[in-house]
Structure 1
Amino acid sequence: MVAQEFTVDLTKPLVFQVGHLGEAYQEWVHQPIVGKEGPRFFASDFWESLTRTVWWAIPSIWLPVVCWCTSMSYRMGHTPSEIALMLGTGIFIWTLIEYTLHRFLFHIQTRTYWWNTVHYLLHGCHHKHPMDGLRLVFPPTATAVLLIPFWNLVKLISTPSTTPALFGGGLLGYVMYDCTHYYLHHGQPTKDPARHLKRYHLNHHFRIQTSGFGITSSLWDNVFGTLPPAKTIEKSS
């Protein structure tokens, strides 16, 4: 069988190799290599540079956008309390988006060359190299592209004056998610809830990848029945 015969060469760019694994890809990608040195993705230095992002770029780039969106709704006549409610609603909506993407897109089962390749770029690389510090947050160029349909979606379900603040709340939720995700991998929390979240997330990586899809909280895992067994979380501490 071709999928069993192919071996990924970790010394060479990985992206266009992993698709050849075929049906063996899912097993391969969920056998993590724990090391802070990340693999090379592309032979091209340009494309390679787009896959690497320092964590602090996320708040530096997107928090000013959140502030700008908030100020737009304020200038349109909304009070600070109304804007706070809209921001909170946007953050809440993001938590559901976070869970949905992680469960149904990032953990989609793939077998063909191109779907394996796409999955590896989206999320598989993170499971294969979970401690790669330059690939823990989403590249800003990709985020900017995805924000266009997100803005249009918010615009569709809200009024012109509430759209900016709701959008800003969702974007703020994303910033909180990406920074939290980085911290759960590289921080050393000593107190709950951060310590529990770290155990919860590392359990997803190293014990049961089919549950525990929440990053910033376990809220939607509780709602949709994807909580990992409590004993596995305790063992991962």
Structure 2
Amino acid sequence: MDGTAFDKVLIGQFFNVLHETQKGIDKHPDFSYSKNNHHLLSERGKYAQNVFKYYARVSEVQEDLDRVLIFLRRFPLKKFYEENNVDLISYTKYHIEVFFHKINTLLDLLKLMVNQVYELGLTDRKCTWDKLCKHTNVKDSPSLKIIEYFHKSFEHIIEARNLNTHRGIYKDPESDEIKIPMMIYRESEKFNMEIGEDLHMAMPKFVLDYRLKKFKKEKLKYIANANDVVTQYVNLFMNVTLPIVIQTAGKK
């Protein structure tokens, strides 16, 4: 089987471990439906649940990345949005920024999951790449190698996210070229004003409309391709990491 394909058998084995460790917990005298019962689990159960927590978060972030593509496919309530200063460019910018942040979140979650799977004992704040690489029982692991490749593949996005988060910078030359003439055309229609001949010559309305469609199409393609790569990396990561989970849980 292709290593980047979703291994249903492996996932099934992982969920079997989870289910087995849950059996009978509701019969424990301290069990409560209104409280967290994690402390009642066996060591094996606690380990499996702790790993699952990060598995679930990774899956949720993947769904968020897919949602970005769904949102970008449509520009709903156009009239309402534009009346509130949200045009196609700013709408796209907002969702691209979300995408950048979610890629970075996914990278962090993969590192945190390694920390949990291999029981390294690092706090979330101290679970850095450098510290993971110093642990002898994980530094040469396939899990860490995949995270390294993930980082290299999405390094441009991670850098864009850092600029956006810490400097408020969003770089997109194409949108910069489009948004000014688009704003002028929109405001001229709104206030029934004449457009200057210079703008008509520089970017006729039909050219602007074409560039907006091209802009949207290219962004959709970019996100779709990135999501495909994300899925391959996550599947590969789980395929090499969950066997460690099943093996470790079996020893507890």
| Both structures adopt the same fold (TM-score exceeding 0.5) | no
Q: Normalised by the shorter chain, which TM-score bucket?
A: under 0.3
Instruction: State the TM-score, normalized to the length of structure 1.
Output: 0.25
Instruction: State the TM-score, normalized to the length of structure 2.
Output: 0.24
Larger radius of gyration between Structure 1 and Structure 2: 2
